[in-house]
């Protein structure tokens, strides 16, 4: 009977089937938008009843979010928060969040919306609703100290870089490029450590690094590496808002910002290097067909056309679906086999001894992971579904 339980649990947990089942449900909703009538949003009703929306923004990530001399939040994402409040016809209440606590603040109801440079990943779609279209896209790079001469990622192998806790790319890049990371709770602390000589440079978002290098304090620092892990950023809502009226309203606002060129204008306002992401998005959302109608327009079911969504996301959804199907097949094939084997073992002591010997052999030979070379950690999967990894 123990073998029955083992077979059943192994089939059900093959690669974490329950987790992938939740991914399947979540990504299917994301891939098909919603039906013609959007789900009523209790959150949106409360926002309009109070006449106020609470938006979580970062204040440690210039030029997207920071504080001015009077301690007031400002930055590109602060501007977006105000534009979203205007779109909803309510007042804006800004709530400072960090990389570590932004989803926690969303889950506990302290904010209804997050605009906090959040990369859109499948893992994060299990925590929150990522609104499409995306409003920005950025990669990861390194701001090197002036005396450093490295020009490629491979030159940094074995060196120490300062980084910020909670960034999803830290572990993967550290392993891929054999880096040592000195983690800090904030960007300012990471910069202080870099300035003190504790690390060769700062591993961070390329957009933030571009901004830092224009400041007097960091002039002379360099960013010679090719950016890696280029991902889109999404406005986030609670998971319960998938397919809701609130998601519909926020999505429409972002689409309009692309069409009107507002996001490109904000990029110039905050002196960011023009991003190919925004340039492509503006052309895409402005495109019209031969009949003069917008190509990226909602259909009768309220969905955006597939061509107006991220190809990488749709591929990731398809891959997750495929993995889930394989797991379901494995479950329904192995469960009957486990039941039959259990009855066989129960009725035959000799068979039970043979089964136990086979289980020991399986555990020692097959189930154990392949040995890693000395000092090498098991390979990590890339943390993001839309990436352009540097060689």
Kindly provide the residue ranges of all beta strands, DSSP E only, lying in the chain, ordered along the sequence.
52-58, 66-67, 73-74, 91-97, 113-114, 129-130, 136-144, 160-164, 180-184, 201-205, 228-233, 236-237
Q: Go through the chain and tell me how many residues it has.
A: 391
- Tell me what pLDDT residue 152 has: 93
Nearest to 54, CA basis, from 120, 116, 100: 116
Pairs from 250-254 (Cβ < 8 Å, separation ≥ 24): 250/84, 250/113, 250/131, 251/131, 251/132, 251/133, 251/304, 252/87, 253/83, 253/84, 253/87, 254/131, 254/132, 254/133, 254/134, 254/135
The CB density around residue 288, as the number of other CB atoms within 10 Å, is 11
- Tell me what pLDDT residue 333 has: 62
- Tell me what pLDDT residue 19 has: 39
- Tell me what pLDDT residue 376 has: 54
CATH homologous superfamily of 139-230 = Periplasmic binding protein-like II (3.40.190.10)
Region 35-135+234-302: CATH code: 3.40.190.10
Q: Which residues of the chain have pLDDT under 50?
A: 1-35, 319-324, 366-367, 384-391
| DSSP letter assigned to residue 367 | I
Residues 192, 177: Cα–Cα separation, whole Å: 24
Residues 155, 158: Cα–Cα separation, whole Å: 9
Is 35-135+234-302's fold the same as 139-230's? yes
Question: Rounded to whole angstroms, what are the CA distances from 37 to 4, 32, 255, 302?
Answer: 47, 13, 19, 8
- Tell me what pLDDT residue 275 has: 84
Residues 15, 218: Cα–Cα separation, whole Å: 46
Report the DSSP pairing between strands 180-184 and 160-164: parallel
- Tell me what pLDDT residue 250 has: 97
Q: For residue 205, which phi and psi values (nearest 5 degrees)?
A: -65, 135
Give kind and range of the element (H or E) at residue 204: strand 201-205
Question: Cβ distance 199 to 104 under 8 Å?
Answer: no
pLDDT in tens, 20-36: 333 333 333 333 333 45
- Tell me what pLDDT residue 100 has: 85
Question: Rounded to whole angstroms, what are the CA distances from 316 to 58, 152, 167, 307, 320?
Answer: 28, 29, 21, 15, 6
Share of the chain above pLDDT 90, in %: 51
**143 SS3 class:** strand
Place of tokens 């039970």: 352
- Tell me what pLDDT residue 226 has: 86
- Tell me what pLDDT residue 305 has: 92
- Tell me what pLDDT residue 331 has: 57
| DSSP letter assigned to residue 306 | G
Starting from the edge strand earliest in sequence, which strands make up the sheet with 113-114, in order? Answer: 91-97, 52-58, 113-114, 236-237, 129-130
What are the structural domain ranges in the chain? 1-33+304-347, 35-135+234-302, 139-230
């Amino acid at each position: 009977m123990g073998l029955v339980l083992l077979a059943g649990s192994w089939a059900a947990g093959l690669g974490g089937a329950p987790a992938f089942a939740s991914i399947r449900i979540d990504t299917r909703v994301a891939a098909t938008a919603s039906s013609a009538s959007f789900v009523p949003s209790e959150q949106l009703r409360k926002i309009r009843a109070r006449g106020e929306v609470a938006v979580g923004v970062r204040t440690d990530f210039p030029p997207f979010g920071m504080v001015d001399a009077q301690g007031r939040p400002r930055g590109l994402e602060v501007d977006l928060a105000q534009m979203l409040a205007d779109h909803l016809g309510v007042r804006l209440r800004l709530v400072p969040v960090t990389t570590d606590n932004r989803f926690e603040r969303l889950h506990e109801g302290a904010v209804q919306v997050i605009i906090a440079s959040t990369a859109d990943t499948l893992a994060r779609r299990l925590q929150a609703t990522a609104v499409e279209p995306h409003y920005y896209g950025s990669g990861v790079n390194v701001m090197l100290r002036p005396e450093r001469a490295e020009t490629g990622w491979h030159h940094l192998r074995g060196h120490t870089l300062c980084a910020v806790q909670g960034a999803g790319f830290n572990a993967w890049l550290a392993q891929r490029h054999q880096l040592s990371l000195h983690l800090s709770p904030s960007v300012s602390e990471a910069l202080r450590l870099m300035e003190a000589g504790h690390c060769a440079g700062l591993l961070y978002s390329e957009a933030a690094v571009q901004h830092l290098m224009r400041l007097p304090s960091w002039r002379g620092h360099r960013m010679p590496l090719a950016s890696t892990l280029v991902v889109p950023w999404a406005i986030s809502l609670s998971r319960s808002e998938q397919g809701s009226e609130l998601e519909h309203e926020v999505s429409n606002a972002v689409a309009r910002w692309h069409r009107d060129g507002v996001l490109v204008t904000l990029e110039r306002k905050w002196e960011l290097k023009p991003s190919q992401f925004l340039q492509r998005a503006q052309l895409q959302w402005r495109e019209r067909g031969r009949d003069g109608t917008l190509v990226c327009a909602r259909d009768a079911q309220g969905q955006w056309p597939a061509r107006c969504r991220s190809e990488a996301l749709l591929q990731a959804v398809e891959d997750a679906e495929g993995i889930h199907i394989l797991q379901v097949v494995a479950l329904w094939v192995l469960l009957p086999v486990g039941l039959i084997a259990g009855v066989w073992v129960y009725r035959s002591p000799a068979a039970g001894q043979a089964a136990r010997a086979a289980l020991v052999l399986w555990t020692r030979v097959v189930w154990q992971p392949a040995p890693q070379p000395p000092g090498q950690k098991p390979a990590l999967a890339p943390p993001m579904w839309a990436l352009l990894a540097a060689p």
